Structure 1
Amino acid sequence: ITLIFIALPSLRLLYLLDELNNPLITIKSIGHQWYWSYEYSDFKNIEFDSYMIQNSDSDNNFRLLDVDNRIIVPMNNNIRMLITATDVIHSWTVPAIGVKVDANPGRLNQTSFFINRPGIFFGQCSEICGANHSFMPIMVESISIKNFINWINNYS
């Protein structure tokens, strides 16, 4: 009887805490040793890998933070991220937007975020995942919806 009095309010709270927002786009992030890959399945099924740019490739990049393909998202919209891994445990972390989600092989974790300003936000894998763990940067660029639609249309 005591368990029923604990369980009923808890179940009600679980349903109330469920996400109510309807995201504009869903992006799937897949952690690999030692890079990230992304899939935008809502549009033309855009898929790409994101590797860290080596220091010798450019003089005007952010050392150990710049990537060759960054995530582009529209600002002032709800974004859903689905995060998983193929090999070992990773952690997709972008502190400036308050996101840290573990990427586990065989499990699909979900989070959502809302960016209300344009800009570039940096992150890293924050789970020690092997020898090149420190070379798994994340770049999220927030742009206007008009520029985002242009990016989607021009992506090849």
Structure 2
Amino acid sequence: MRKVFASAGAAAAFFASTAPLLAQADPWQTRFQPAATDMMRQIAWFELYTLWFIVPITLLVLALLAYCIWKFRESANPTPSRTSHNTLIEVIWTIGPVIILLFIAIPSFQLLTAQYTPPEEAKLTLKATGNQWNWDYEYQLEEPLSFNSALLPDADRATAGKEDRAAYPRLLAVDNEVVVPVNTTVRVLVTASDVMHAFAMPAFGVKTDAVPGRINEIWFKAEKEGLYYGQCSELCGKDHAFMPIAIRVVTEEQYNTWLTAAKADLPGANRALMAAIDGANKVASAGN
């Protein structure tokens, strides 16, 4: 089964290579956001895998119900059957579901184990604290870096250089994004300062509750540079819908440069990073 996961992940990685460097919720979206981690690809595979069981079972039950309604209607059967049991049918509907559940349970347990078992020791630890209605982030380094991230007001877009609604969408753009290096295992310690929140990043395949007085641990390893959006996923008060999460994945060099500058001037470091990324994108586009 692990080989199946690996093959599916490799195939998904090939097709994901053409995905945009931006993951966010889209209007009328019916599928997952583009996967940015191997874990998310496994989750997407498992969802499709379970549909091969769910859809036929649903259609079978629907067909059986329709048949019974038609076959055993009162006009066709004025005297109903008095059959109390049927051994063969009872054996089939007992053993059949057990087998199906085994086919679902084994890869499910493997996926659950993988979600709580990082492939390597985390190189970066980040603490995320949910507040009503923003996030505090702390990079747990020798010289810690802390800042607050909140919804970006429309009036501040020009000052922040985030007027592009496609890259910085309404209700998802924040004033200060979390910045992490690509292909690096990141541990996230999640908690809350007031009420329950939830830290969710769909493209990474991570989601956990932020509970006051408790620390929950998750991890991710982003494989593609870009800007990724999530949201608080636990009803936490009147501004629950205005509590986005934004993570920018950059190269190791860009991350180190940003980190050094951010300790002295976070807004300036963010603007410099955005300028470096925009410049690199323009060069890449011109080269193509």
- TM category, shorter: 0.7 to 0.9
- SS of match in other structure, 1:152: helix
Matched AA of 1:73: V
Matching of residue 149 in structure 1 with residue 256 in structure 2: yes
Distance across 2 between alignment mates of 1:20 and 1:148: 22
Structure 1 unaligned spans of 5+ = 1-13
| Match of residue 47, structure 1, among 146, 150, 153 | 146
Q: Which residue of 2 aligns with 1:136?
A: 243
Check the 8 A contact 1:55/1:64 in 2, yes or no: no
Q: What one-letter code is carried by the residue in structure 2 that aligns with 1:147?
A: Q
Instruction: Flag structure 2 segments of 5+ consecutive residues without an equivalent.
Output: 1-112, 158-162, 265-288
Structure number having the greater strand percentage: 1
Shift of residue 20 of structure 1? 5.1
Deviation at 1:55?
2.6
Tell me if structure 2 keeps the 8 A contact 1:117–1:142. Answer: yes
CA shift for structure 1 position 62: 1.1
Residues 93 and 68 of structure 1, relative CA distance in 2, 3 Å threshold: same
Deviates more, 1:57-66 or 1:85-94: 57-66
Equivalent pairs: percent with the same residue? 38
Distance 2:119 2:225 in 1: 24
Q: Which AA in structure 1 matches 2:153?
A: Q
User: Pairwise CA RMSD of aligned residues?
Assistant: 1.5
Alpha-carbon distance change, 43 to 147 in structure 1, aligned in 2, over 3 angstroms:
farther
Residues 56-99 of structure 1: CA deviation (Å, up to 9, x unaligned): 33343310000001000000010000000010000001101111
Relative to the length of structure 1, the TM-score reads: 0.86
Normalised to the residue count of structure 2, the TM-score between the two structures is: 0.47
Q: 2:156 & 2:129 partners in 1: Cα distance? A: 25
Q: Which has the higher contact order (CA 8 A, sep 6+)?
A: 1
Whichever residue aligns with residue 138 of structure 1, its letter is I
Is 1:108 the equivalent of 2:215? yes
Matched residue pairs, number? 141
Match in the other structure for 1:24:
123
Q: Distance in 1 between matches of 2:181 and 2:216?
A: 22
Is contact 1:75-1:118 (8 Å) kept? yes
- Checking the alignment, whether the CA contact within 8 Å between 1:28 and 1:38 is kept in structure 2 is yes
Distance 1:111-1:67 versus aligned 2 partners, 3 A rule? same
Please state if 1:56 is matched with 2:155: yes
